[in-house]
């Protein structure tokens, strides 16, 4: 086995797939797939279960056994390199994990502020869903997670709460009516554009009383908003995601809110958490 094989194995397991592993390693997807096949051939075992559709892989028990050994081997190699290399005089790295349904301008502003005001670290930003953020935090792939937080605790804090609102075309009759808010009943005859990455629990919109007549389902929030702007339906989304191209109306009897905050590990430096909190508050 080559170290590169082990690096690829670890990346595929931790990134939960070949596509993300290729991005993480900065190599092509075919190169990652070829490395996994080569490793399986050398060992004479199958390490990953392939999906029937041909897309996606899942590590089996053999892969997880090798994964734990591989992590230890790679850690020891890294320690060996550091023992003979000149000390790195650059600031230590700090990684901020970000929920992928946060508004892009907010992310860009926060990253810029961190780079300018917290120069004792070299900052990087990684994006993913809520499940990935939790795993990445546990595996020390990120230092702080910025996303949905249920309640403040010893290792988490709520930064703000924002309501889910109705987002429509500016030319929609409801938007042009001059009303400053609406009710769920006002949307009964309207078609909805569903957000594939919605952070709400499954069926939360139905349980809130919304009639679900889908016009489209968009994995990207910017696409959902673009479709709404063209009058193809309405979107229920956090207020911060709305752009200037759409009409935004609070729904008085829609009691859906998301809490956005930070989570970190017990070994995350307090000053790093504080620097992140200040940057996101500005």
Residues of the chain with CATH 3.40.190.10: 93-159+259-281, 163-255
Specify the pLDDT at position 88. 64
CATH 1.10.10.10 in the chain, residues? Answer: 3-84
Over range 16-38, report the average pLDDT: 88
Residue 214 has pLDDT above 70, yes or no: yes
Closest by CA position to 156, among listed 130, 180, 188: 130
Per-residue pLDDT, averaged over 262-271, amounts to 92
Topology of the domain covering 3-84:
Arc Repressor Mutant, subunit A (1.10.10)
Residue 145 CA to residue 156 CA, distance in Å, equals 9
Q: Where does the pLDDT of residue 168 fall: very low under 50, low under 70, confident under 90, or very high at 90 and above?
A: very high
Residue range 210-235: average pLDDT?
A: 94
Give the model's confidence band at 143: pLDDT under 50 very low, under 70 low, under 90 confident, else very high.
very high
Q: Residues 163-255: name the CATH superfamily.
A: Periplasmic binding protein-like II (3.40.190.10)
- Report the candidate in 232, 221, 230 with the shortest Cα–Cα distance to residue 164: 221
Torsion region of 141: left, alpha or beta (phi above 0 gives left; psi -120 to 50 gives alpha):
alpha
Residues 28-35: what's their mean pLDDT? Answer: 90
What pLDDT, on a 0 to 100 scale, did the predictor assign at position 87? 67
Q: Please give the pLDDT value at position 151.
A: 82
- The CA R_g of the chain, rounded to the nearest whole Å, is 23
pLDDT tens by residue, 82-114: 888 766 677 888 999 999 999 988 899 888 988
Instruction: Please state, in angstroms and as integers, the Cα–Cα distance from residue 156 to each residue in 85, 97, 222, following that order.
Output: 37, 14, 29
User: Average pLDDT, whole number, for the chain?
Assistant: 90
The pLDDT score that the predictor gives to residue 224 is 95
For 93-159+259-281, which CATH superfamily applies? Periplasmic binding protein-like II (3.40.190.10)
Give 215 or 81, the one with higher predicted confidence. 215
Region 157-185 average pLDDT: 94
Is pLDDT of 210 > 60?
Answer: yes
- Whether pLDDT at 55 is above 70: no
| C-beta atoms surrounding 163 within 10 Å | 13
The tens digit of pLDDT for each residue in 58-70 reads 889 999 999 999 9
Global pTM exceeds 0.85 = no
């Amino acid at each position: 086995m080559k170290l590169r094989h082990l690096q690829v194995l670890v990346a595929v397991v931790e990134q939960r797939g070949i596509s993300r592993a290729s991005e993480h390693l900065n190599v092509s997807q075919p190169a990652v797939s070829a490395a996994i096949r080569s490793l399986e051939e050398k060992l004479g075992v199958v390490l990953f279960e392939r999906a029937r559709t041909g897309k996606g892989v899942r590590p089996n028990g053999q892969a997880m056994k090798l994964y734990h050994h591989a992590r230890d081997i790679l850690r020891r190699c890294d320690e060996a390199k550091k023992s003979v290399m000149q000390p790195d005089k650059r600031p230590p790295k700090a990684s901020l994990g970000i929920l992928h349904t946060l508004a892009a301008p907010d992310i860009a502003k926060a990253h810029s502020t961190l780079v300018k005001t917290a120069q004792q670290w070299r900052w990087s930003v990684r994006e993913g869903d809520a499940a990935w953020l939790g795993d990445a935090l546990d595996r020390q792939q990120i230092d702080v997670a910025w996303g949905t937080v249920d309640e403040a605790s010893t290792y988490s804090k709520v930064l703000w709460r924002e309501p889910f609102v109705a987002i429509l075309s500016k030319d929609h009759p409801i938007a042009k009516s001059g009303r400053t808010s609406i009710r769920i009943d006002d949307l009964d005859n309207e078609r909805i554009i569903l957000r594939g990455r919605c952070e709400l629990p499954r069926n939360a919109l139905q349980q809130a009383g919304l009639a679900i007549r889908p016009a489209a389902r968009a994995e990207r929030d910017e696409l959902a908003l673009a479709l709404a702007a063209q009058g193809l339906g309405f979107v229920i989304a956090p207020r911060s995601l709305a752009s200037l191209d759409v009409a935004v109306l609070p729904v008085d009897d829609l009691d859906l809110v998301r809490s956005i905050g930070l989570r970190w590990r017990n070994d995350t430096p307090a000053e790093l958490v504080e620097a992140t909190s200040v940057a996101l508050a500005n």
